[in-house]
């Protein structure tokens, strides 16, 4: 009976590892916050709930994005220069 429970737990863990529900849920919440939040039902409680969901599913990237949200944009590269054709 114990061996059957261990095999069932391993099979369930393998299935969840292949399906990756936390990554899918985190990707969905990230997509909602970044691209669809202002379009429909954009409210503070919904934004807070999505942020908590992001924090639960992907804490490292969420905290890093939160820390760097007000950073200035990276410097622009210099403008292209073209050589004049020789005549």
The CA distance from 21 to 15, in Å, is 10
The residue count of the chain comes to 87
Ramachandran area for residue 2 (φ above 0: left; ψ -120 to 50: alpha; else beta): alpha
Give the model's confidence band at 75: pLDDT under 50 very low, under 70 low, under 90 confident, else very high: very high
CB under 8 Å to 51, separation ≥6 — which residues? 33, 62
Which tens digit of pLDDT belongs to each residue from 25-63? 777 777 777 776 555 556 677 777 777 887 887 788 878
């Amino acid at each position: 009976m114990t061996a059957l429970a261990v095999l069932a737990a391993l099979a369930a863990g393998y299935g969840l590892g292949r399906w990756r529900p936390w990554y899918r849920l985190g990707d969905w919440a990230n997509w909602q916050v970044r691209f669809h939040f202002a379009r429909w039902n954009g409210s503070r409680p919904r934004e807070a709930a999505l942020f908590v969901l992001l924090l639960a599913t992907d804490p490292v990237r969420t905290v890093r994005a939160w820390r760097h949200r007000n950073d200035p944009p990276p410097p622009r590269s210099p403008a292209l220069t073209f050589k004049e054709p020789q005549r």
